[in-house]
Amino acid sequence: MATAVALLAGCAVGPDYHRPATAIPATYKETPEGWKVAQPADQHDRGDWWSIYNDAQLNALEDKLNRNNQSIAQYAAAYRQARALVGEARASYFPTITASGSASRSRTPLSSSSSSSVSSGRSGVISNSYSASLDASWEPDLWGKISRTVGAQEASQQGAAADLANARLSAQATLAQTYFSLRSLDAQQKLLDDTVAAYARSLQLTQNQYAQGVAGRADVIQAQTQLQSAQASAIDNGVTRAQDEHAIAVLVGEPASTFSIPPAPLDAVPPQVPVQMPSALLERRPDIASAERKAAAANEEIGVAIAAYFPSLTLSASGGFESSVFSKLLSMPSRFWTLGPSLAGTIFDAGLRRAQTDAARAAYDQQAAAYRLAVLTAFQDVEDNLASQRILAQEIVVQQQAVESAKHALDIITNEYKAGTVAYLNVLTAQTTAFTAEQKLASLAGQRMVSSVGLVKALGGGWDVAQMDRETGDVMAPAATPASTPAAAAPQSQSAAPAGAASDQTPGQAPGQAPAS
């Protein structure tokens, strides 16, 4: 009997999991010249990827985010819940043992038979009953329902670890992008302040010209209007900066009312980021890993649904002591036991199991499509940011030339105005052109830094798929934990890295069709 049960327990019904097939390009279309493919040394865990920008203020903010960000804390709690559900599912492999004890006192009519343990009362005979027992039951995993459930929960746990990593990476990237946006605004604020000072000097020049009868009153009014407009723009720039500062406060888990960042104009340039091969992107993106693990969990649920077609076997045993006299409860004559199997199967369910199986297959198809979409979106994300880096770099070179030309033109026209050969309107036009060119250049520099962070995020930051088995669920970024640590190690069965580009599926077999035993 035990041998037969052991043999049957190895027969798990339902489809074996294979990663959904998806097309992987050989190269990135937007990889510019001079960019190198990442080498093995570049693939180490770069948990603090933001350190490539060499900004002490950014490093300190990212450390605060890792400790205090509440979005990360939510996903960390979800991971710990998923880890607990794995333990809950594994408990079904083992028998359930319960202990019970009872004591009762009953009264029967006087006409009833009596024993040495009864006493007479006014209206009947009072009897006592005592019992103590152990009960055990175990359901062998004949058709793989338990193993499929455990597999689904393990995949969900790894998916939750990837979700946590993705939430952490997203928050870190959002912080870095907002920080560089704020620094760009600081640079624009400096430009605006310098422009206000220049326009004030221009107004003074015009007033002097007017006092000497060289310029008209209209020139003074125009210069004054231009100065006041620049002053208004300088004040308005503070609104957007305050909003960025408040957004950073929320990201690092501090009240916006007590948080501030000292102004410092942006003076950084994007570092060169090694670009991995497209196939490696599937190992580096936690959102892709999460989608793949969700597909694996959905595949296991198909096996759980199919197992419901087969009968379940339950082995149960109980034993204990029962006596009407407490002092004799643990004696041999009071002992009792029962032992026996129970086989149960559903004969008619009005199509319930078929509907549940169809629903499980449809859920798998949904998750497989979500995985393929995540892969396509990831490649789009990389291409978008590569294109942005390439185009912005070219645009900045041209814009720098435009700034130099505008400054040169302004110097010439200002001198001509002082000589009285051109009208003040020419000066206003030249000043506006120069200011607009410089403002555009400062804005482009900020966009380029934001795009640089977007590229790092699109490439997965410093994450690697192996971290799904090392994730601790803490708010802090996970440290490399030895795989032998029980609390951190995750099972390796059916948990291959979701980096494969091709499916291992048997030709002609659709996911969820053929039971495997």
Give the pLDDT confidence of 282-306 residue by residue, as tens digits: 888 999 999 999 999 999 999 999 9
Whether the per-residue pLDDT at 490 is higher than 60: the answer is no
At 230, is the secondary structure helix, strand, or coil?
Answer: helix
pLDDT tens string 382-401? 999 999 999 999 999 999 99
Give the C-alpha separation, 2 to 270, whole Å. Answer: 67
Whether the per-residue pLDDT at 45 is higher than 60: the answer is no
Query: For residue 410, what pLDDT is reported?
Result: 93
Query: Which tokens is 107 given?
Result: 């009264």
- The residue with greater pLDDT, 442 or 11, is 442
Query: Which tokens is 451 given?
Result: 């795009």
Query: Which tokens is 412 given?
Result: 């010439």
Percent of the chain scored above 90 by pLDDT? 56
As a whole number, the mean pLDDT across the chain is: 83
CB 279 within 8 A of CB 499: yes
Percent of the chain scored above 70 by pLDDT? 83
pLDDT tier, 470 (very low <50, low <70, confident <90, very high otherwise): low
In a domain, 345, yes or no: no
pLDDT tens string 357-370? 999 999 999 999 99
Whether the per-residue pLDDT at 496 is higher than 50: the answer is no
Give the position of tokens 């049960």: 5
pLDDT tens string 314-368? 899 998 888 877 777 777 777 888 988 888 888 998 999 999 999 999 999 999 9
Query: For residue 33, what pLDDT is reported?
Result: 54
pTM recorded for the entire structure: 0.80
Q: CA-CA distances (angstroms) from residue 513 to 314, 495, 496?
A: 28, 21, 22
Average pLDDT over residues 120-130: 72
Give the C-alpha separation, 293 to 61, whole Å. Answer: 32
Give the C-alpha separation, 231 to 209, whole Å. Answer: 23
Beta bridge partners of 168: none
Query: For residue 93, what pLDDT is reported?
Result: 92
pLDDT tier, 34 (very low <50, low <70, confident <90, very high otherwise): very low
pLDDT tier, 498 (very low <50, low <70, confident <90, very high otherwise): very low
Query: For 259-273, 434-448, 486-500, which range has the lowest pLDDT when averaged over its residues?
Result: 486-500
- The residue with greater pLDDT, 394 or 39, is 394
In a domain, 486, yes or no: no
How many domains is the chain built from?
1
Question: Of 384, 385, 387, 403, which is closest to residue 442 (Cα–Cα)?
Answer: 403
In a domain, 403, yes or no: yes
Give the position of tokens 């960000």: 69
Query: For residue 59, what pLDDT is reported?
Result: 94
Question: Of 139, 150, 144, which is closest to residue 85 (Cα–Cα)?
Answer: 150
Number of residues in the chain: 517
In a domain, 373, yes or no: yes
Q: CA-CA distances (angstroms) from residue 152 to 139, 159, 296, 325, 406?
A: 19, 10, 7, 51, 64
- The residue with greater pLDDT, 102 or 492, is 102
Torsion of CA 56, 57, 63, 69, to 10 degrees: -160
- The residue with greater pLDDT, 41 or 375, is 375
pLDDT tier, 485 (very low <50, low <70, confident <90, very high otherwise): very low
pLDDT tens string 48-70? 899 999 999 999 999 999 999 99
Give the C-alpha separation, 82 to 85, whole Å. Answer: 5
Whether the per-residue pLDDT at 75 is higher than 50: the answer is yes
Give the C-alpha separation, 488 to 468, whole Å. Answer: 10
Give the C-alpha separation, 394 to 451, whole Å. Answer: 14
Average pLDDT over residues 482-510: 35
Q: What is the DSSP letter of 50?
A: G
Query: For residue 198, what pLDDT is reported?
Result: 92
In a domain, 447, yes or no: yes
CB 15 within 8 A of CB 512: yes
pLDDT tens string 256-283? 999 999 999 998 889 888 777 888 888 8
Give the C-alpha separation, 432 to 226, whole Å. Answer: 9
In a domain, 23, yes or no: yes
Q: CA-CA distances (angstroms) from residue 360 to 15, 22, 142, 299, 330?
A: 12, 21, 20, 8, 52
* Distance from the first to the final alpha carbon of the chain: 20
pLDDT tens string 196-220? 999 999 999 889 888 888 888 998 9
In a domain, 456, yes or no: yes
- Any alpha helices (H) in 252-333, and if so which ranges? 278-284, 286-307
How deeply is 247 buried, as exposed, middle or buried, from its count of CB atoms within 10 A (0-12, 13-18, 19+)? middle
Query: For residue 32, what pLDDT is reported?
Result: 54
Tell me, what CATH number does 372's domain have? 1.20.1600.10
CB 471 within 8 A of CB 164: yes
In a domain, 222, yes or no: yes
Question: Of 515, 390, 361, which is closest to residue 451 (Cα–Cα)?
Answer: 390
Query: For residue 283, what pLDDT is reported?
Result: 85
Whether the per-residue pLDDT at 483 is higher than 80: the answer is no
CB proximity list for 366: less than 8 A, separation 6 or greater: 298
Residue 438, domain extent: 2-95+141-312+353-469
Cα Dmax for the chain: 136
Query: For residue 123, what pLDDT is reported?
Result: 62
Query: For residue 110, what pLDDT is reported?
Result: 66
Give the C-alpha separation, 324 to 104, whole Å. Answer: 9
